Amino acid sequence: MKSYLGNYQRTIEKTLEKITKEKIIQRIWQKDHTVWRKEPAEISDRLGWLDCREVTRKSLDEINLFVEEILNEGFTQALLMGMGGSSLTPEVFRMTFGIKNGYLDLHVIDSTHPEAVLEYERTLYPTKTLYIVSTKSGGTIETMSFMKYYFTSVSKIMGQEKAAQHFIAITDPGSGLEETAKNLNFRKIFLSDPNIGGRFSALSLFGIVPAALAGVDINKLFDESKKMIGECESNELSENTSVLLGSIIGTLTAEGIDKLTLIISPRLKYFGGWLEQLIAESTGKDRKGILPVDLEPLVPVNEYGSDRIFIYIKISGDNYFDKKVVEIKGAGFVVLELELKNIYELGAEFFRWEFATAIAGYVLDVQPFDQPDVESTKVAARTMMTEFQLKGKLPELKPDFESDGMKIYCESKVENLDNVFPSFLAECKKSKNYVSIQAYLKPDEKIWQMLQQLRLKILNEYNVATTLGYGPRFLHSTGQLHKGDSGNGFFIQLFSDFSEDAGIPEIAGDSASSISFRTLIKAQTLGDRQALMDNHRKVLSIELGMNVIHSLEKLIQSSY
C-alpha cells in the first residue's frame, strides 16, 4: 500500500502505538469482544468471518460438484434474489469476472420495483434458469417476496414439483428459509456459518456459491486470499495493510475527514458497492460514521471539501486514473493506494477491508457488527403496510408544490421548479455536509446516467460529497449510516408512479395475493422518509410521475 498522509502522520502514529500497546490485533484473532464493547452481544456471534477461509474451503468440493451437476443438466442462467451482503458480493463477482463460457449467466435482483421484477420474469427462460434464494435470516421481506413470486411463476409453467428443482437456498441453519426450502423440496440448501454477519460474508457460502456457478475458480480465489489473511495476523504494522488502512481511516474520521472517496479501476468498479455497504453499515452509528463516496463523477480538485480522504484501488497495468490521483495528491489530500495484480486478488481484498473495518470500529469506538438503525426503517415500512391492509391504501402525503407532472414534498418554501434545490440545499455549503440521492426507481442504465448528471450538478454547485443509490437496495447498505451518523446529510428521495404491477403471493406456489410490489416499494419509500425525519434528517421527496425520463430532464435543467 502506498500512502500520502500530509500533515496527519504523527496523529496516525499515535493510533498505531495504542493498537500495539493494547494488543488489538492479537485480541481480534482471539475473538475478544472487549476490543469493541464490554458485553458480547452481537459481537461474539459475528466473528466467524475471521475463519471464513478454512470453514468455506471445507465446502469447495461440494460446491464444485453441484456446479458440475447444474451445468450437465443444461442450465444456462441464474437469478439470485438477495439484499445487502447476500446480493452485493455475487454482483461484484459477476460484473468483474464476466460470463465464463459454459457457466451460468448470473443475474441479481435486489429491487422491489415491480417493473424490475417483471423484467426478469419476461427475459429469463425458466427451463434453463437456476433460482438462488439467498438470505442469512431467512426472513428478509424483499428476498422472500422475490422467492414467492418467482416460485409461483415457474410453477405455473412446469408444475411445482419440477419448479422446485430449479430453486436452491443459501441461508443460516434453522432459518425460516431453510424450513420453507425443505417444505417446498428445493433442489439444494446450502447452510452457511451462522457466526458471520451479512456484510462480512463475502468469502462465505453467500458469496462463493454464486461465484462458482458463474465460473469463478473458487479454489484459486481462496489460494490468493491466504497471504492476505496471514498479513492480517502480523504484529509488524508496516506489513499489515489492513491495520494501517483501518487506523488511518478511523483516525482521520475522528478528525472530521470522514468522506471516504473511492477511485477504482474500471475493471474493479463494482467492488465499490460492496465496500460502501461494509464501511457505512459498520461505522455509521452512535452519531459517528465514515461516509463512502462511490462512483462519484470526478471534478477539479478545488471543488473537493477538506473533509475528503481518497482511496485509489487499481489493477496492475491500468493507469486510467493515475493522472487524476497525482493531481489530488498535489492538492494536499490524504490518498491511500492499493494495487491488485489480478482479479483473483479480490478474495484477498474482501478480507483486507473486513479486517480494516473492524480496526476502524475500534479506533472510532463504534461496534462494527450491529445495525441498530436499519430496523427503524423496517418498522416504519411495516407500519405503512399494516395500514394498507387495514384501510386498503397507504398514507398519502400532501405535496408542497406541483409542476409539470411532479409533486414536491419538503419543509422549505418552494415557489417554482428552479427553486426546489436552492431552497432545500440553502444550508448545504458546509464542508461537513453531504447530499444523498435515493432513487426508488427501476434500475436502468439511462436512468443511472441521468441521476449521475443530477449528482454532478449538485457537486459542482455546492462542493459537498454526494452519494447515489437505488432503493430499497441502499436500505441494507448506507441506510444505517443515514440515520446513525452525526446528521450532516441532505436526502433527496426520487420515486415514480408505475405503469405495471405484480402481486406478491401469500404462499409460494399459490397466486393469491393481498399486497403487491408497488405497495411494498412505496411503503419502503415512505417508511424510510419517516425514519429519516424521526432522526431529524433533512428530506426532500420528489414524485416524478409516470414519465421518469422527462421529469429527470426537467430537474437537471432547473437552475441551481
- Note the pLDDT tens digit of each residue in 439-451: 999 999 999 999 9
Q: How far apart are CA 241 and CA 14, in angstroms?
A: 17
Residue ranges of the alpha helices (H) in 185-254? Answer: 205-213, 218-232, 241-254
Cα 182 to its chain centre, rounded Å, is 29
Residue 301 has what DSSP assignment? G
Residue ranges of the alpha helices (H) in 260-405? Answer: 271-283, 322-330, 346-364, 374-391
Nearest of 244, 545, 503 to residue 405 by alpha carbon: 545
Find cell 497471504 and name the residue: 227
Delineate the domains of the chain, giving CATH numbers in brackets.
Answer: 2-30+235-364 (3.40.50.10490), 50-216 (3.40.50.10490), 375-557 (3.40.50.10490)
Residue length of the chain: 560
pTM: 0.96
pLDDT (tens place) for every residue of the chain, 560 residues total? 998 888 899 999 999 999 999 999 999 999 999 999 999 999 999 999 999 999 999 999 999 999 999 999 999 999 999 999 999 999 999 999 998 999 999 999 999 999 999 999 999 999 999 999 999 999 899 999 999 999 999 999 999 999 999 999 999 999 999 999 999 999 999 999 999 999 999 999 999 999 999 999 999 999 999 999 999 999 999 899 999 999 999 999 999 999 999 999 999 999 999 999 999 999 999 999 999 999 999 999 999 999 999 999 999 999 999 999 999 999 999 999 999 999 999 999 999 999 999 999 999 999 999 998 887 788 888 888 888 888 888 888 899 999 889 999 998 778 888 989 999 998 887 668 999 999 999 999 999 999 999 999 999 999 999 999 999 999 988 999 999 999 999 999 999 999 899 999 999 999 999 999 999 999 999 999 999 999 999 999 999 999 999 999 999 998 66
Q: How far apart are CA 271 and CA 176, in angstroms?
A: 30
In this predicted model, what pLDDT tens digit does every residue of 78-112 receive, in sequence order? 999 999 999 999 999 999 999 899 999 999 999 99
The most distant pair of C-alpha atoms in the chain lies apart, rounded to whole Å, by 67
- In three-state form (DSSP H/G/I as H, E/B as E, the rest C), the secondary structure along 133-171 is EECCCCCCHHHHHHHHHHHHHHHHHHCHHHHHCCEEEEE
∠ CA(421), CA(463), CA(528), 5° rounding? 50
3-state DSSP call for residue 255?
Answer: coil
Q: Which residues of 28-56 are buried (b: 16+ CB within 10 A; e: fewer)?
A: beebbbebbbeeeebbeebbbbbbbbebb
Residue 198 has what DSSP assignment? G
Q: Which residues of 156-165 are buried (b: 16+ CB within 10 A; e: fewer)?
A: eeeebeebbe
How many C-beta atoms lie closer than 10 Å to residue 61's C-beta? 10
Contact 165, 19 (CB under 8 A): no
Find cell 437469478 and name the residue: 79
Which secondary-structure segment (H or E) carries 293?
A: strand 291-293
In this predicted model, what pLDDT tens digit does every residue of 251-300 receive, in sequence order? 999 999 999 999 999 999 999 999 999 999 999 999 999 999 999 999 99
By CB atoms closer than 10 A (0-12, 13-18, 19+), residue 547 is middle
Q: How far apart are CA 353 and CA 359, in angstroms?
A: 10
Find cell 434528517 and name the residue: 537
Peptide bond into 395 cis (omega under 30): no
- End-to-end C-alpha distance for the chain, whole angstroms: 40
Cα 466 to its chain centre, rounded Å, is 16
Q: How far apart are CA 502 and CA 505, in angstroms?
A: 9
Q: How far apart are CA 507 and CA 496, in angstroms?
A: 28
Which secondary-structure segment (H or E) carries 230?
A: helix 218-232
Find cell 434453463 and name the residue: 128
